[in-house]
């Protein structure tokens, strides 16, 4: 029996899936962050050791029979980081195990295209638009971090919400239910304490990102400020997607757009608005994936072995991961 491993690694956690040659997931494990830009090499080694030790408990001796390991890791687009990650993984598997390392955005792309070309719009705490065409050309738009970009991310939406609420308090902007919602969220009753809660947090970014869900709640209540923020977000994301499409795809190419990340969980809000925004692009098809990014990494592992990926294996990954 041959085995395949897919790894999805980011700045918060790393998840690994082990599948048999039919695509059935037979082991799953998670550990800490694995972005080499933020994690020291010895700590990276510990993360992968923990994942594979857990897999070993679930499926004894899997290492000897693993033919492909695909790892989509945040920060792996840097050649030096890729070299570090490869060195760690090669020590843990036999020489015959094929290892491929790419940026984690590819996992999210494959989760919706199953290995076919396309574009993935990732919008969680941060945001990035990533694409790969049929000629293997890879390109990205955005993803420049919360100081200089991340438009359309949970952080961006949350920051806009706090700004709009404070302007309403000052009389510099229209009244909005967002102010009282933010008070309730932070369990405060004035803007000074609200701001203090954010600025004294160990990670202000992580305090602000979840506030996007408050904006969606206010949007459902027809709050004009929330509707403005949501519409601006859809505008930004549509701009990112079309900019990348024009960079690496021809106007006649049918292209799948995968929507990945927390801000798309409310399917009738941002995804619906994006479909309306992109309606004039008849060759673009928006997809909300049924597979996790770790499942997308497994797709990558099967693609490493020619002709081994088929519809039944894809179904098995979806149903067993």
What structural domains and CATH numbers belong to the chain? 3-103+291-320 (3.30.420.40), 115-289 (3.30.420.40)
The residue among 100, 80, 84, 79 whose CA lies nearest residue 34 is: 84
Tens-place pLDDT, residues 176-200 = 999 999 999 999 999 999 999 999 9
Q: Quick one: CA dihedral 306, 312, 316, 318, positive or negative?
A: positive
Q: Quick one: CA dihedral 55, 61, 62, 68, positive or negative?
A: positive
Q: For residue 189, what are the β-bridge partners? A: none
Tens-place pLDDT, residues 54-63 = 999 999 999 9
Least confident range of 41-55, 111-125, 144-158: 144-158
> Taking residues 225-234, what's their average pLDDT?
96
The residue among 149, 38, 89 whose CA lies nearest residue 297 is: 89
Q: Of all residues in the chain, what percent are helix, strand and coil, respectively (each to 5)?
A: 45, 20, 35
Residue 39 reports pLDDT greater than 90: no
- The residue ranking higher by pLDDT, 144 or 226, is 226
Question: Which token pair is 235?
Answer: 């505008």
What pLDDT sits at residue 307? 62
> Taking residues 82-102, what's their average pLDDT?
93
Which residue is associated with the tokens 């070309």? 117
């Amino acid at each position: 029996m041959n085995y395949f491993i897919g790894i999805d690694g980011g700045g918060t956690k790393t998840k690994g899936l082990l599948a048999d040659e039919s695509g059935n997931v037979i082991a799953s494990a998670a550990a800490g962050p694995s972005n080499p830009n933020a994690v020291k090499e010895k700590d990276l080694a510990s993360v992968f050791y923990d994942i594979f030790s857990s897999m070993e408990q679930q499926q004894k001796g899997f290492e000897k029979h693993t033919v492909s390991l695909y790892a989509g890791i945040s920060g792996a687009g840097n050649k030096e980081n890729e070299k570090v990650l490869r060195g760690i993984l090669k020590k843990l598997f036999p020489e015959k195990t094929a290892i491929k390392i790419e940026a984690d955005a590819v996992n999210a792309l494959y989760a919706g295209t199953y290995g076919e070309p396309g574009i993935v719009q990732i919008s969680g705490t941060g945001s990035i638009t990533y694409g790969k065409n049929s000629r293997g050309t890879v390109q990205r738009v955005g993803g420049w971090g919360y100081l200089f970009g991340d438009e359309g991310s949970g952080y961006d939406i949350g920051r806009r919400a706090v700004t709009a609420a404070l302007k309403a308090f000052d009389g510099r902007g229209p009244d909005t239910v967002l102010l009282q919602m933010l008070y309730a969220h932070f369990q405060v009753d004035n803007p000074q304490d609200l701001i203090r809660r954010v600025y004294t947090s160990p990670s202000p970014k992580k305090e602000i990102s979840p506030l996007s869900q408050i904006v969606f709640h206010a949007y459902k209540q027809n709050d004009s400020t929330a509707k403005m923020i949501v519409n601006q977000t859809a505008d930004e994301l549509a701009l990112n997607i079309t900019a990348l499409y024009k960079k690496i795809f021809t106007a006649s190419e049918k292209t799948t757009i995968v929507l990945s990340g927390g801000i798309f969980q409310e399917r009738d809000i941002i995804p619906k608005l994006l479909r309306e925004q992109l309606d004039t692009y008849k060759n673009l098809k928006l997809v909300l994936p049924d597979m996790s990014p770790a499942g997308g990494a497994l797709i990558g592992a099967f693609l490493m072995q020619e002709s081994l990926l088929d519809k039944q294996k894809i179904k098995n990954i979806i149903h067993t991961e």
